[in-house]
Chain A
Amino acid sequence: MAHTQDEVLSGLAEIVNEIAGIPQEDVELDKSFTDDLDVDSLSMVEVVVAAEERFDVKIPDDEVKNLKTVGDAVNYILTNAA
């Protein structure tokens, strides 16, 4: 099932909120996970695994380090989700 950008962004915001306690409204496309949202490297893995489940997408370990911003993650999911 194809997702819209808004769906993926709001889904990611829920995940980031649940895992890292960041307010959902702060999770915006141009925000850096580490610098702006204070999501550390291990929480990032938790976010990735939760996103894989939610959006039926595989995000390999090598790809995780390329997902610097929320927008990077949204684009990856939009491009690769089943």
Chain B
Amino acid sequence: MTAVPQIRPVTGAAHSRIHGVGGYRPVRVVPNSEVLEWIDSSDEWIRTRSGITERRWAGPEESVAEMSVQAAGKAIAQAGITADQIGAVIVSTVSHFKQTPAVATEISLKLGCPTAPAFDISAACAGFGYGINLADGMIRGGSAEYVLVIGVERLSDMTDVHDRSTAFIFGDGAGAAVVGPSDTPGIGKVVWGSDATQKDLISQTEAWDTAFAKPDAINGSTGDEARWPALRMDGQPVFRWAVWEMAKVAQQALDAAGVTADQLGAFIPHQANMRITDAMIKALKLPASVPVARDIAETGNTSAASIPLAMERMLQTGEAKSGDLALIIGFGAGLVYAAAVVTLP
């Protein structure tokens, strides 16, 4: 009997980093004045509660897949690679309404990497960080050279426009990053986790099967706009968790990376609410010299897409520079979170 051979060890890259980032913002701008046609509120109330002045809502042609392809194309171009070099496609979304096949496969086909492993994940507003963590592990583990991470949402499809506490918050869009090998560490330890005891704080109002069983009585509304289940959240406890618990997580990500806050070139939190960002800056004692992403003002809360969209904007406007260190932190329904220090592409 011959000896059982040893399986050849897998080797990957020493380190990984983000090589390119790109975003897609839908054409249609929805200002607060339009939201006020649906809810009894005021522009000032919306601005002071959320910092949002307008958001983008996708049209029929701006599907989850199409927005992703546009964003990914920009990320791939910045990375200086071609689509056929993409070794895996990870898509984080909670608003793609066809569960199978994964939208990642449609995106990979349209991009020109139709043989790459492709799959969707569901981690809400932490989805981009979850995807980055998976990509980093896959690259260092030797299962892919370049991984495309996409966060994409059409949250307008899940917005109850008559819910005064959420109608103004959500927006649509896509953000993508190409993660690939690096000689030096470009992605710090991703501090991630969940608090499932608070899983009901942010959720879809109803499961699809029960919603379809009573199509005229969803959300207590009979209007056409409310025919889908919507997103709801319990503002005060979410605010408390997002600010003070997430400030601790952000600090852990800094500590794990061996970086101090004053060494950051950008702070890019999930664009959940400007008030959360402002309070988190205080709780984190972030030096005033660190530029902070405030993309939410004109984009709304785009869940998994918000961090790469905000990152792209900061690089485009010159608020942050390629090669600088950025602290990213996503947090949302689950509750789930992921934070890391990354080198900006």
Contact = CB atoms under 8 A, between A and B. Distances in A.
28 contacts: A40-B48, A40-B49, A41-B235, A41-B236, A41-B239, A42-B49, A42-B235, A42-B236, A42-B239, A42-B273, A42-B275, A42-B279, A44-B236, A45-B236, A45-B239, A45-B240, A45-B243, A46-B243, A46-B279, A48-B240, A49-B240, A49-B243, A49-B244, A61-B236, A61-B237, A61-B240, A64-B236, A65-B236
A62 to B, nearest CB: 9
Interface residues of A, number: 11
Contacts of A65: 236
Given A42-B273, A61-B236, 15 more contacts: A40-B48, A40-B49, A41-B235, A42-B49, A42-B235, A42-B239, A42-B279, A45-B236, A45-B239, A45-B240, A45-B243, A46-B243, A49-B243, A61-B237, A64-B236
Contacts, number: 28
A49 B273 CA distance: 18
Contacts of A40: 48-49
A61 B243 CA distance: 14
A48 B239 CA distance: 12
Nearest to B244: A49
Interface of A: 40-42, 44-46, 48-49, 61, 64-65
Interface residues of B, number: 12
B38 to A, nearest CB: 20
Contacts of B236: 41-42, 44-45, 61, 64-65
Interface in B148-174: none
A22 B244 CA distance: 23
A61 to B, nearest CB: 4
A64 B240 CA distance: 11
Nearest to B48: A40
Most A Cβ at <10 Å: residue of B235, B237, B240, B279: B240
Contacts of A41: 235-236, 239
A41 B238 CA distance: 12
A79 B237 CA distance: 22
A65 B240 CA distance: 13
Contacts of A48: 240
A27 B338 CA distance: 39
